[in-house]
Structure formats: structure tokens, C-alpha cells
Amino acid sequence: MRLVGSPETAERVNAATDHFDRLIDGVAHFIRDADIGPAIDQGMTEHLAEVAAIAGNTAAPSFDNTIVALERSGRTLGRATTLLMSLTGAD
């Protein structure tokens, strides 16, 4: 995890799940190995909840509320696994 803000007001942020458009002094985040496991756990939890919401939707099935919704789900998990593979390949 990294600190965001000044030491007095710093919040702890997992760089693997934080938004990539957020920079510190114009510099992108640094990802540590310790960030990946919690990011994958968070991504799996979010993805399961997203899929459960899609499956539990009481509206008539349509392309938008099934296929498009599934395609948009799992972004945190996808980002975390991409980082894992990138770090694994770099080691």
C-alpha cells in the first residue's frame, strides 16, 4: 500500500485497485507484490457481486442487461490479474 497525501492526512491505498488516472505529483503509482493478493480478493468479491446482480435482475433478459453487463463486470479483477501477470513476467 502507498500513502496518498501529506503524512498528516495520508490515507492508505492499494495501488493495484486504485484508479490509474490518479497521480501523485504527476507520477504513476508503484505496485508492490503485497498489493496484488488483496486486489485479487477484492476483485473476486466485486465480480461475484456483479454477476449475482446480473443473474438476479428481474427485468426481461436483453443484450444490454446480460451480455453488455457481463462484459463490463470484473474490471478490478481483470486489472489485478493483468498486474499479476505483468509482475510475474518481469521477475
pLDDT digits (tens, 9 = 90+) for 31-69: 777 888 998 999 999 999 999 999 999 999 999 999 999
Question: Which of 1-10, 28-37, 76-85 holds the top average pLDDT?
Answer: 76-85
The pLDDT value recorded for residue 8 is 47
pLDDT higher than 80, residue 21: no
First to last CA, the chain: 20
User: Does the pTM exceed 0.85?
Assistant: no
How far apart, in whole angstroms, are the C-alpha atoms of residue 86 and residue 62? Answer: 36
Give the sign of the dihedral formed by CA 28, CA 32, CA 33, CA 35.
negative
The pLDDT value recorded for residue 43 is 93
- Whole-angstrom CA distances from 25 to 6, 28, 62, 81 are 12, 9, 44, 27
